Amino acid sequence: MTDPAAGGSLRLPDGRRLEYADRGDASGTPVVLLHGAPGSRLFAPPAALAAALGVRLVTFDRPGYGGSDRRRGRELLDTPADVTALTDALGVDQFAVLGASAGGAHALACAVALGERVTDVGVASMPGPLDEVPGAWDALDRRQRPAAEMAREDPAVAAGWVDRYMQRWAGDPPSFLGGGTPDDRALLAEPEPGRMLLADVTEALGPGPGGMADDLVALWRRWGFAIADVQPGVHVWHGGQDTRAEPSFRHLTATLPRCRAVIWPHEGHYGVVRHWREALGAVAP
């Protein structure tokens, strides 16, 4: 399992606390890994694997998850400022970003906002923007659609809905993880990945579902940048059994400039967990 003790807390310029972990090869190629929703700094490969690949892997809890203070009303383009503060504190000038699921949108936001500080970008199983992906609004769950529409008018009300809806899962992370494709359920049954994913979600939802609420509202709102604005050459991975991310994958591969796309045919939404070596090796060759 990954080492949750490697890292600590950072006090950000606005006074918020940001909890982070710093694993792998301390002198290796820096990679900032952005977790899904819900997720935390514990979403990571074993530290020994990162070290063997020559990767210094930095993870952190987005606001409202785990040990990081909540920031209500945050937008996708607020994440790059937190990443800047964290990497500055760690003495890291340039780094790759790798985002999984909802973390992919935050990775792209960093790529757009941080320019040459970001050396490479990879995203796996990520959702695309509602205003760009064809049919994305119609594909929303019937309970999510009204909240997503409200997010455009009153983000606080939309976040409150998600917060209330997620309360039932906050105290029962195993049930939250129990859905998904047969491939995802098989992955959860494997000892090491299963322990990591359960620890990740348990940590994420420890303070309640506020971080999840803010993440979903940020994804439902306008992103503040277009997919075509992202730097060329993004690595895009997709599990062939991941039906919920499939429309976004088609849009990303058609829109990201000179993207490098790979389909893992037998994987579901958590496919990157079986392909850490490939993903880290791609963004930190």
- Express each pLDDT in 225-239 by its tens digit: 999 999 999 999 999
Condensed to tens digits (0 to 9), the pLDDT of residues 78-106 reads 999 999 999 999 999 999 999 999 999 99
CATH number of the structural domain spanning residue 205 = 3.40.50.1820
**Res. 5: pLDDT tops 50:** no
CB of 140 within 8 A of CB of 249?
Answer: no
| CA pair distance 79, 95, nearest whole angstrom | 15
Classify residue 204: in a domain, yes or no: yes
Do the beta carbons of residue 181 and residue 242 sit within 8 Å?
yes
SS3 state at 99: strand
pLDDT of the residue at 220: 98
pLDDT at residue 3 is higher than 70: no
The overall average pLDDT reported for the chain is 94
Residue 224: give the domain boundaries.
7-283
- Residues 192-226: tens digit of each pLDDT: 999 999 999 999 999 999 999 999 999 999 999 99
Examine residue 2 and state whether it is found in any structural domain, yes or no: no
pLDDT of residue 148: 96
pLDDT at position 7 is 84
Using CA atoms, how far apart are residues 167 and 267, in angstroms rounded to an integer?
A: 29
**Both tokens assigned to 21:** 């972990």
Tell whether 1 is covered by a domain.
Answer: no
Using 50, 70 and 90 to split pLDDT, how confident is the model at 9?
Answer: very high
Judged against a pLDDT cut of 50, whether residue 145 lies above it is answered with yes
Residue 114 in domain: yes
3-state secondary structure (DSSP) of residue 67: coil
What pLDDT, on a 0 to 100 scale, did the predictor assign at position 1? 33
Residue 194 lies in a domain: yes
pLDDT at 2 > cutoff 60: no
Residues 6 or more apart whose Cβ sits within 8 Å of residue 202: 173
**pLDDT of amino acid 168:** 82
Position 170 scores a pLDDT of: 84
pLDDT of residue 175: 82
How many domains is the chain built from?
1
258 inside domain = yes
The per-residue pLDDT for range 240-267, each reduced to its tens digit, is 999 889 999 999 999 999 999 999 999 9
CA 242 to chain centre: 16
Q: Is residue 92 domain-resident? A: yes
Does residue 190 belong to any structural domain of this protein?
yes
Share of residues in the chain with pLDDT > 70 (%): 98
